Structure 1
């Protein structure tokens, strides 16, 4: 049986112009733990989306990290401008796909809540970013602090 490695594109969604790209094995415990933490706290993100259009909404950035598969190639990409649409969600791919040929940056994608591997919210008032659990798990603590990431929810 062929072993399939998972490629992860790690970047802060707000800062995706400087994407860092590296290989992580599909059974990497750091990745697994980050995705589990994102899943545990996904309700916070989904509740924030429910009030996105409200005048008193606390957030001004809504992003998700989704898994894309083309044949045997797997890549995770960030979507921005995420919003609820009918009984599902939509967002625009903001990461530049490095391995996929049919998936393009700028494309609008529909998805279900269960498709979310990671998520990020940015608070309007403080500018602090919540979520981005994989980024938090793989980045330097000083950088995270200086960039206003709140990694402990």
Structure 2
């Protein structure tokens, strides 16, 4: 069943990259309670975040899924290494509720028996039982994309599905965005 593709804009793609890099900023050594005004602003921003759904019937998206699956073993080795130069290791997974399917970024995630578990790091638009930060369980075959950020090189790896979405956005804006996040869609690992 094909997914609807909303109009792709740089603001939306930038939001997707921010979501996939959601916790890239340093966490405080001591947990602090955000001010009420910051909580309201965060909630308002989250409510306004439009989701760009994936068209899983698009040949380019199918190729992105295949590329991500083909390089998944290498990514999982990088994830397991706990390298301090690697941050925000995330996977995009196919999740379903009945006949409804959506592709959601998961970060953090970890091995759990024969599968994985983690927290939803993107705003679900079609799944009614899932919220940002909600715990999900998934299998390896549900992973359709992966990404991580290499700190010293300031380079994002993977994110194949986002690269497909970027192909439909204005070129000049895409280049600035790719440079800002260190995303090079022409490279693999």
Greater helix share, structure number: 2
Instruction: State the structure with more CA Rg.
Output: 2
Q: CA–CA distance in 2 between the matches of 1:99 and 1:108?
A: 17
Query: Aligned residues, how many?
Result: 147
| CA-to-aligned-CA distance 1:96-144 (integer Å, 9 cap, x gap) | 1111111221112222222210000111322311001010122134422
Query: Cα distance 1:24–1:90, how it changes in 2: closer, same or farther (>3 A)?
Result: closer
Give how far 1:42 is off: 0.7
What are structure 2's unaligned runs of at least 5 residues? Answer: 7-12, 24-45, 167-173
Give the 3 Å change call, closer, same or farther, for CA 95–7 of structure 1 in structure 2.
farther
**Which of the numbers 28, 47, 51 marks the counterpart of 2:58?**
28
1:76 paired to 2:100 = no
What's the TM-score once normalised by structure 2's chain length?
A: 0.67
Paired position in structure 2 for 1:98: 125
Displaced runs of 4 or more, over 6 A: none
**Secondary structure of the corresponding residue to residue 6 of structure 1:** coil
Measured on the aligned residues, the alpha-carbon RMSD in Å equals 2.5
Structure with the bigger percentage of strand: 1
Query: Partner of 1:150: helix, strand, or coil?
Result: coil
In the alignment, is the contact (CA less than 8 A) between 2:22 and 2:121 conserved in 1? no
Q: Is 1:118 aligned with 2:145?
A: yes
Given the two structures, how large is their TM-score scaled by the length of structure 1?
0.81
5+ residue gaps, structure 1? none
Secondary structure at the aligned position of 1:84 is classed as: strand
> Secondary structure of the residue that 1:21 maps to in structure 2?
coil
